[in-house]
Amino acid sequence: MVKTDSLSNNQFRQRLGLSYPFATAVLPGLVIGPAVYYLYRWLVELLKGSVSPTTFLAYDVPIAYLVPAVFLIGALLLHRALIPSIGLLGRFNRTQACVGLAAVFSAYLASIGVAELAGFGREMGMVLLGFGKTEFQFQIFIVTVLILPPIVEEIAFRHFILNTLPFNRHRLVAVAAVIGSATFFMYAHIGAYNFWPTHALMFTLGVIFAVARLVTGGLLLPMMLHCFAVATGLSLNYVWAALGG
């Protein structure tokens, strides 16, 4: 009787996609992914509306990302508890890391080159970077923007959104998941940027991070690449400004 009950329970979990190898069944990712993402976005808007515009201008990144980071980490750990086959950190070697770093840097150089050739110049958000912040507030911004967005956005996009499609089921599904999540990543940043080379850069970075997630089986390398991307964007922005861009 115990074995029969255990077998029935396993069959029930399989039908729900809770005991399969991660991301091989259409459910539950199709439900969990969008649900967690939109809860995260709702939380961000709630936090933004809970402070004055002046306070948000001064501490925008901590306000918009700190609590969501806690929420998403908790959601990720709960998801792992439901499906133990989920990889959290993943495994990668030096070559994979170097290829990822080179891809990110090349994407930024290509985006800047195209923007210059097309006559766009720097994004206004980058021109006004740090505007309205004191030196202390800007230091907080730099530290937090290097840490919090890579954690929040990699869990949101490269775990929950990517998992909307069962990417471990077939290579074609994996390709669709990568392209779909990268498109959504680009769309999520539409309001922050005005020029199409920057939108193309966001899509390209979304592809790079998603591929890193699939290849390594975890989020550590995508988070590292995302942190490097933020650092590269900040550094090249100052170089570009110094060169008169």
pLDDT for 16 equals 63
For the stretch 183-188, contacts whose Cβ atoms lie closer than 8 Å and that sit 24 or more positions apart, written own/partner, are 184/157, 185/153, 185/157, 185/161, 185/209, 188/157
- Is there a contact between 40 and 68 (Cβ–Cβ < 8 Å)? yes
- Give the mean model confidence (pLDDT) for residues 96-105: 98
Q: Tell me how far CA of residue 84 lies from CA of 79, 81, 97, 176, 185, in angstroms.
A: 8, 6, 26, 24, 27
- Is there a contact between 97 and 222 (Cβ–Cβ < 8 Å)? no
DSSP 120-156: --S-HHHHTTTTT--HHHHHHHHHHHHHHHHHHHHHI
- Is there a contact between 223 and 151 (Cβ–Cβ < 8 Å)? yes
DSSP 155-195: HIIIIIIGGGS-TTS-HHHHHHHHHHHHHHHHHHTGGG--S
pLDDT for 14 equals 66
For residue 2, pLDDT over 60 is answered with no
State pLDDT tens for residues 43-70: 999 999 999 999 999 999 999 999 999 9
Percent of the chain scoring above 90 in pLDDT: 90
- Give the mean model confidence (pLDDT) for residues 104-109: 98
pLDDT for 244 equals 83
Q: How confident is the model at residue 11 (pLDDT cuts 50, 70, 90)?
A: low
Record the pTM.
0.94
Place of tokens 């933020």: 230
